[in-house]
């Protein structure tokens, strides 16, 4: 159930008299959801609570087949509904007795009381689907809001990526995550030709404790284990995606706060989830705070649900199909077959892909990345140390970091993965290189649709043109115009929250890819994250 606060109580208690309510800005007349102390459009604090009609239109949906909550077994339909009073606003909800669902379906609110909360569910109204309002800001407008460079000096020129390393990786290793972190860090430092005494900075994502299988304890845990005594350190989730730790390290080195920063990322979700299933780890309490409180109570418990609704909207608007996503999964598996470190290497056909069990429509099993236990580490060094390094340095040509879209998943872009259009546009303002100059792309693929979104956002094809670009898989093959996720990606190599993509970019630019090596790869793009704030790196070799 959601965490009920003074700010949102009116929404969660509205069902007591059967009337849906929402904040409205009296300055610009726009409606505001989730509740806020100021209007995100005009920044006015003149907000009042208004009664709504309870009527709306489905702008995205997914049929959940895999996940569930106590008392809410699958399958069920999660939807985003635009209320009639302001179609720019979206409510994440669950549909009651949905039958056949379509984008454009008309619906009416219907409340369900659970404890002290009234969940606003929606029941479909008979009739053909109608038109759907466009996003408040479309891709072109989002891109138009990118900020130009403030100075011709680029901090990227002050750094190199000097070393990279990985721990053991596998499914349910049942190894303490800090052990994996130390393995990866030792490997990265040795790869750079440095010692731990040379390291004077630490950076990680998301930091904090090991809860959820998403880390090892952060800088605190690693410093306690290795006693590096860093002059600069960093850890946190509100950064440029999982790779944000690397961009933060670059800024620290450029500013002179550190000379060699060790960036690390550990994930042990496969072991964590297995231990929870066996009762070896406790589940969290039943009240959900923050942004998740607006989706989890309706059964939207995974990032897959939010992204699947965006995928359905892309399908409806641009004619994309499951086969379109399938070419991404097939390409990753073919590349993984040439990578001894990949988790899944067996060949895959389109029939295999389409025949796999559904997770949450339109995503099947092979649209989803593979949970593993692993750690990846990268060393960011001062550029003037390049001549002293063990391996040829990898240069950073540019980064993309700008946050333009709404940060709430359900209020953001509805046709693509949120938080990719802004960083992608920002990247190209910091370099004279263009998409045609990229030799290899390592694009975040927590799900196939993440990858599709990055392909369009970065300009490798036009917005809405991924269906044609991906058809047949030739363009993204190792000998295609955009060799994609050459190690197998997170779909087949394993979920390392983007750091494995950075590792593979370094491998390719060094020419160390073996059978999967892209000939004469000189420029690589690496994207990190999405949904959450994200970032992009454009790398090159001398």
CATH class (in words) of the domain with range 9-133 = mainly beta
CA distance 100 to 3: 32
H-type alpha helices, 166-268? 177-191, 218-226, 244-255
DSSP string across 135-158:
PSS-HHHHHHTPPPPS-S--GGGG
CA distance 442 to 427: 15
pTM metric for this prediction: 0.94
- What contacts 97, CB < 8 A, 6 or more positions away? 123, 124
Which of 258, 249, 184, 252 lies closest to 222, judged by CA? 184
Q: List the beta bridge partners of residue 92.
A: 80
Q: Report the pLDDT value the prediction gives residue 507, as an integer from 0 to 100.
A: 98
Angle of helix 421-428 versus helix 448-457 axis, rounded to 10? 40
pLDDT per residue over 98-128, tens digit each? 988 999 999 999 999 999 999 999 999 999 9
Chain position carrying tokens 């209007």: 39
Pairing assessment for the beta strands 260-268 and 201-204 based on DSSP bridges: parallel
Q: Report the pLDDT value the prediction gives residue 53, as an integer from 0 to 100.
A: 98
The answer regarding whether domain 155-273+367-541 maps to CATH 3.40.47.10 reads yes
Q: Report the pLDDT value the prediction gives residue 283, as an integer from 0 to 100.
A: 59
Hey, is 186 helix, strand or coil? helix
Burial 82-91 (b: 16+ CB within 10 A, else e): bbebbbbbbb
pLDDT per residue over 259-272, tens digit each? 999 999 998 878 88
- Cβ atoms within 10 Å, residue 293: 18
- pLDDT of the chain, 542 residues: tens digit per residue: 898 999 999 999 999 999 999 999 999 999 999 999 999 999 999 999 999 999 999 999 999 999 888 899 999 999 999 999 999 999 999 999 998 899 999 999 999 999 999 999 999 999 999 999 999 999 999 999 999 998 999 999 999 999 999 999 989 888 898 999 999 999 999 999 999 999 999 999 988 766 677 778 889 999 999 999 999 999 988 888 888 999 999 999 999 999 999 999 998 878 887 777 777 766 556 778 788 899 999 999 999 999 999 999 999 999 999 999 999 999 999 999 999 999 999 999 999 999 999 999 999 999 999 999 999 999 999 999 999 999 999 999 999 999 999 989 899 999 999 999 999 999 999 999 999 999 999 999 999 999 999 999 999 999 999 999 999 999 999 999 999 999 999 999 999 989 999 999 999 999 999 999 999 999 999 999 877 889 999 999 99
Q: What values do phi and psi take at 434, rounded to 5? A: -130, 170
- Cβ atoms within 10 Å, residue 49: 12
- Cβ atoms within 10 Å, residue 230: 19
Domains 9-133 and 155-273+367-541 share a fold: no
Chain position carrying tokens 């994207």: 527
Delimit the domains of the chain by residue range.
9-133, 155-273+367-541
């Amino acid at each position: 159930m959601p965490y009920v606060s003074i700010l949102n109580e009116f929404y969660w208690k509205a069902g007591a008299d059967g009337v849906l309510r929402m904040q409205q800005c009296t300055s610009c007349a726009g409606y505001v959801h989730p509740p806020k102390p100021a209007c995100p459009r005009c920044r006015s604090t003149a907000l009042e609570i208004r009664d709504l009609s309870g009527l709306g239109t489905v702008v995205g949906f997914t049929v959940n087949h895999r996940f569930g909550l106590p008392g809410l077994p699958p399958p069920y339909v999660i939807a985003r509904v635009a209320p009639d009073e302001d179609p720019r606003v979206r409510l994440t909800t669950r549909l009651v007795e949905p039958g056949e669902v379509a984008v454009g379906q008309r619906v009416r609110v219907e409340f369900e009381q659970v404890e002290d909360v009234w969940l606003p569910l929606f029941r479909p109204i008979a009739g053909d689907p109608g038109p759907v309002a466009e996003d408040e800001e479309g891709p072109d407008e989002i891109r138009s809001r990118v900020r130009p460079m403030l100075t011709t000096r680029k901090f990227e020129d002050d750094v190199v990526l000097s070393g990279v390393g990985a721990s053991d990786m596998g499914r349910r290793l049942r190894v303490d995550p800090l052990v994996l972190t130390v393995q990866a860090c030792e490997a990265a430092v040795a790869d750079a030709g440095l010692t731990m005494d040379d390291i004077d900075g630490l950076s990680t994502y998301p930091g904090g404790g090991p809860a959820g299988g998403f880390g090892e304890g952060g800088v605190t845990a690693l410093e306690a284990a290795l006693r590096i005594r860093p002059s600069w350190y960093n850890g946190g989730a509100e950064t440029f995606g999982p790779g944000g730790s690397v961009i933060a390290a670059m800024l620290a080195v450029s500013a002179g706060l550190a000379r060699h920063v060790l960036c690390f990322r550990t994930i042990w979700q496969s072991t964590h989830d297995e231990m929870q299933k066996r009762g070896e780890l406790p589940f969290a309490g039943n009240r959900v705070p923050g942004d998740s409180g607006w989706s989890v109570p309706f059964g939207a418990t995974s990032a897959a649900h939010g992204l699947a609704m965006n995928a359905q909207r892309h399908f409806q608007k641009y004619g994309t199909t499951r086969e379109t996503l399938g070419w991404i999964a097939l390409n990753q598996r073919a590349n993984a077959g040439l990578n001894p470190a990949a988790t899944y290497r067996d060949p895959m056909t389109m029939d295999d892909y389409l025949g796999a069990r559904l997770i949450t429509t339109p995503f099947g099993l092979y649209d989803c990345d593979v949970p593993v236990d692993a750690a990846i580490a990268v060393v960011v060094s001062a550029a003037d140390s390049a001549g002293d390094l063990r391996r040829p340095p990898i240069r950073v040509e540019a980064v993309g970091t700008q946050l333009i879209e709404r940060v709430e998943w359900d209020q953001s872009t509805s046709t693509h993965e949120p938080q990719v259009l802004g960083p992608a546009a920002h990247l190209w303002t910091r370099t004279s290189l263009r998409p045609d100059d990229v030799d290899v792309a390592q694009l975040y693929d927590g799900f196939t649709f993440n990858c599709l979104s990055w392909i369009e956002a970065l300009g490798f094809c036009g917005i809405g043109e991924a269906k044609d670009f991906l058809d047949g898989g030739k363009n993204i093959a190792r000998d295609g115009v955009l060799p994609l996720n050459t190690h197998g990606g997170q779909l087949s190599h394993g979920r390392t929250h983007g750091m494995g993509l950075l590792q593979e970019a370094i491998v390719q630019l060094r020419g160390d890819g073996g059978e999967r090596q892209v000939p004469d790869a000189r420029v690589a793009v690496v994207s990190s994250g999405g949904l959450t704030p994200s970032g992009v790196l454009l790398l090159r070799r001398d």
